[in-house]
């Protein structure tokens, strides 16, 4: 398994890239300090998703930043991605692990305490605490957990965790102080005028917050 660091986890959304190519934004973000990239593109065909995944894999390899595919097990297998992130309504985890193999990174979204307890019985590599705050980026999520929810979930979870949902420079430190190992962002980097600078500033906040834990 490729070593991974949840500190600053970028989830892509081309619709938020201000007209720039996905490669432009992702490479700038990685240079700025992004530690993981999840390719999440809901509005494209299987062929286009596969081509984007291969492009991202080639781009990220020199930086040793893992490429995680969102939801699409077929795409993850086809491009031999570093991992897959699944939600509660996606293909069941045991099937994903069986098909992906033990050397791939598999993340699972948890939306409440019950999900977290169930995840403790699985050998997932990390959990995504979703959503921490309400967000316009992803509208099909459960109610916002808030910082208290993050504290409770990280207290009982045996897995590393990353918070996602409405996270930006103003609240990033709060997520880490609440117990998460990293933050996952979409618009805070994808829509930034300078994705590299935005990533650098977020990574600095995360690192400093971890040192004060």
Residue 126 backbone phi and psi in degrees, to 5: -160, 165
User: How far is residue 103's CA from residue 212's CA, in Å, rounded to a whole number?
Assistant: 32
Domain ranges of the chain: 8-211
Residues placed in the known binding site for Mg(2+): 71, 90
Question: Which SS3 state, helix, strand or coil, does residue 107 take?
Answer: strand
Question: Which SS3 state, helix, strand or coil, does residue 98 take?
Answer: helix
Which pLDDT score is estimated for 140?
58
The mean predicted confidence, pLDDT, of the chain is 95
Q: Which residues are catalytic?
A: 40, 109, 138
User: How far is residue 49's CA from residue 77's CA, in Å, rounded to a whole number?
Assistant: 12
85-90 long-range contacts (CB < 8 A, ≥24 apart) are: 85/38, 85/40, 85/109, 85/128, 87/130, 88/115
Q: Which CATH superfamily is domain 8-211 in?
A: Aldolase class I (3.20.20.70)
Q: By percentage, how much of the chain surpasses pLDDT 90?
A: 92
Interval 94-105: pLDDT, tens: 999 999 999 999
Which pLDDT score is estimated for 141?
59
Which pLDDT score is estimated for 138?
57
Residues placed in the known binding site: 38-42, 70-71, 90, 109, 135-138, 166, 186-187
Cut 0.85: pTM above it: yes
């Amino acid at each position: 398994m490729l070593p991974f660091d949840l500190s600053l986890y970028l989830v892509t959304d081309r619709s938020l890239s201000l007209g720039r190519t996905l490669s432009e934004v992702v490479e700038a973000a990685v240079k700025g300090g992004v530690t993981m990239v999840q390719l999440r593109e809901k509005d494209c065909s299987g062929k286009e998703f596969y081509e984007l995944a291969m492009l991202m894999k080639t781009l990220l390899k020199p930086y040793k930043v893992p490429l995680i595919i969102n939801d699409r097990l077929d795409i993850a297998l086809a491009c031999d991605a570093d991992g897959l992130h699944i939600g509660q309504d996606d293909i069941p985890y045991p099937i994903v692990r069986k098909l992906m193999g033990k050397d791939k990174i598999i993340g699972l979204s948890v939306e409440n305490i019950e999900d977290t307890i169930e995840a403790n019985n699985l050998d997932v590599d990390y959990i995504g605490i979703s959503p921490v705050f309400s967000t316009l980026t992803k509208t099909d999520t459960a109610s916002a957990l808030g910082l208290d929810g993050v504290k409770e979930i990280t207290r009982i979870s045996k897995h590393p965790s990353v918070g996602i949902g409405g996270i930006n420079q103003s609240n990033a430190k709060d997520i880490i102080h609440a117990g998460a190992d990293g933050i996952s962002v979409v618009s805070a980097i994808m829509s930034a005028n300078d994705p590299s600078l935005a990533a650098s500033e977020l990574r600095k906040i995360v690192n400093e917050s971890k040192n004060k834990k």
